[in-house]
Amino acid sequence: MKKVFSLLLTALTLCLFTVAAAPAARTITVATDATWPPMEMVDANKNIVGYDIDFLKAAAKEAGFSVVFKNTAWDGIFAGLDSGQYDAVISSVTITPERQKKYDFSLPYIDAGQILVVPKTEHAAKLADMKGKKVGAQIGTTGAFEVKKVAGIELKTYDEIGLAFEDMAAGRIQGVVCDEPTAIIYALQKQEYKAKFKIAGKPFTKEAYGICVKKGNKELVALLNKGITAVKAKKIDQQLKKKWLK
């Protein structure tokens, strides 16, 4: 009996040691500018929601880490990453050669493109048709970079893309350039705008979004890529596209 008790005690001790020694799931703090529907936004209950949010939550579950989101203004989002205020940025960030010089990125998790939104009274079919007019875009985005490339267009930048659409509704600018999913929300779905705005033509860029981290943080990139790969393999991303982008 003593031998059996001793064996049970040893087994229990080993189990307790194993539980105590098991590493806790890593928690990653991620910044997002929640002003960019349907990718990232704040809902009526003040929760950060959207395609990017659900995608990263799913990736975290698949790769075995936890994620905490931090709503951060776009104009300071990369500076916050530089100073270590958070571990990563997921905020419809296009992977560009310029950004890759300073930061590391995960695998692309979705493709998107820039598109032009104009009032229904405007006859423009492409960005070049907007010469001599004012076009808005969020500051520091690929949309703003694309407008700058076209000579003769006056670019007006905004801290939030919603402010650009407000200005266009008021007649202060004649067009807005943004990512296609966001354009669909503002031009085709928002009650206050869908009778006023239209999408002009098709997307004129092909871009891939990635999760941005500090240069050299290979361990975090590998963890994110593990989650992204699993989400795509299980086609969870397709379910999220139906939820947010259709």
pLDDT of residue 188: 87
For 113-125, the pLDDT digits (tens) are: 999 999 999 999 9
Strands 26-32, 88-89: pairing is parallel
Domain-wise residue ranges, the chain: 22-111+208-244, 114-200
What's the CA gap between 213 and 218, in Å, rounded? Answer: 9
Nearest to 52 by CA among 180, 162, 211: 211
Q: What's the rounded mean pLDDT across residues 89-95?
A: 96
pTM (predicted TM-score): 0.80
For 180-195, the pLDDT digits (tens) are: 999 999 988 899 998 9
241 phi, psi to nearest 5 deg = -65, -40
Residue 20 has which token pair?
């105590």
Domains 22-111+208-244 and 114-200 equal at CATH topology level:
yes
Indicate the range of 4-13, 97-106, 226-235 predicted with least confidence.
4-13
List the end-to-end C-alpha distance of the chain, in Å, as a whole number. 67
- DSSP of 186-223: IIII-TTTTTTEEEESS----EEE--EEETT-HHHHHH
Residue 75 has pLDDT above 70, yes or no: yes
Using pLDDT thresholds of 50, 70 and 90, give the confidence band for residue 200.
very high
* CA distances for 149 relative to 49, 89, 191, 208, 234, angstroms: 33, 26, 32, 20, 39
What dotted CATH number matches 114-200?
A: 3.40.190.10
What dotted CATH number matches 22-111+208-244?
A: 3.40.190.10
CA angle, 94 then 96 then 101, to 5°:
130
What's the CA gap between 139 and 160, in Å, rounded? Answer: 8
For 139-174, the pLDDT digits (tens) are: 999 999 999 999 999 999 999 999 999 999 999 999
Rg value, the chain, Cα: 23
Provide CB contacts within 8 A for 40, sequence distance 6+.
32, 33, 34, 48, 49, 50, 51, 52, 53, 90, 91, 92
Using pLDDT thresholds of 50, 70 and 90, give the confidence band for residue 14.
very low
Residue 44 has pLDDT above 70, yes or no: yes
Average pLDDT for the chain: 91
